[in-house]
Chains A and B, each alone.
Chain A
Amino acid sequence: DAGITQSPRYKITETGRQVTLMCHQTWSHSYMFWYRQDLGHGLRLIYYSAAADITDKGEVPDGYVVSRSKTENFPLTLESATRSQTSVYFCASRGSLEAFFGQGTRLTVV
């Protein structure tokens, strides 16, 4: 199916565990983004990527790692999850102008 998909949709993990959120897009868009959404903060950019093997930090990168070995995939890893990383995470891709968003991953760190 064409589009951008995130997995899993819901995840509960324990403090200190490593967890990876997946993002896959079928358009071959150059730019991909990871945002977190928390009440009162809107969407905050975690990392973004301009192309395969090119990534850069956003506003709130601490505690997160990204990679982009293939254009279509942009996984986000929480190396050692903390309760403050409980949030809804959105992946997006952008070809020229507008961005397309996945459905989000609701992550709870207990």
Chain B
Amino acid sequence: SQQGEEDPQALSIQEGENATMNCSYKTSINNLQWYRQNSGRGLVHLILIRSNEREKHSGRLRVTLDTSKKSSSLLITASRAADTASYFCATGEMNTGFQKLVFGTGTRLLVSP
């Protein structure tokens, strides 16, 4: 089964609002990554947070990690229509030295002008 599960499955907001999506995972990790997929395209890496970090920022992105709850959240501040995409979390499986990269089911974000 998949390592990560994103919540919500779909999110619809207006431009300028913040978007928060959550990811839960099942096993121990050494890092957690977030990716973005525009419709019909491949995934693009957004941000990585290591297991010993609790929060990380990159531009309008803020990621948090709670290893005790096996969960992470991705916050996009001041959303733009161009942020419309699907967002996935990904983790490496411990029994493969964290190299086998497994993705969640994704959150579809729609940002309306």
Contact = CB atoms under 8 A, between A and B. Distances in A.
Interface of A: 31, 33, 35, 40-45, 48, 50, 56, 58-59, 90, 92, 94, 97-104
Contact of B99 (A31, A40, A43, A103): A31
A59 B2 contact: yes
Nearest to B98: A97
Contact of B105 (A42, A45, A102): A42
Interface residues of B, number: 24
The 10 closest A-B pairs by CB, nearest first: A101-B42, A42-B105, A98-B45, A43-B103, A101-B43, A42-B106, A103-B42, A102-B42, A99-B101, A42-B103
B44 interface: yes
B31 interface: yes
B41 interface: yes
B49 to A, nearest CB: 11
B42 A90 contact: yes
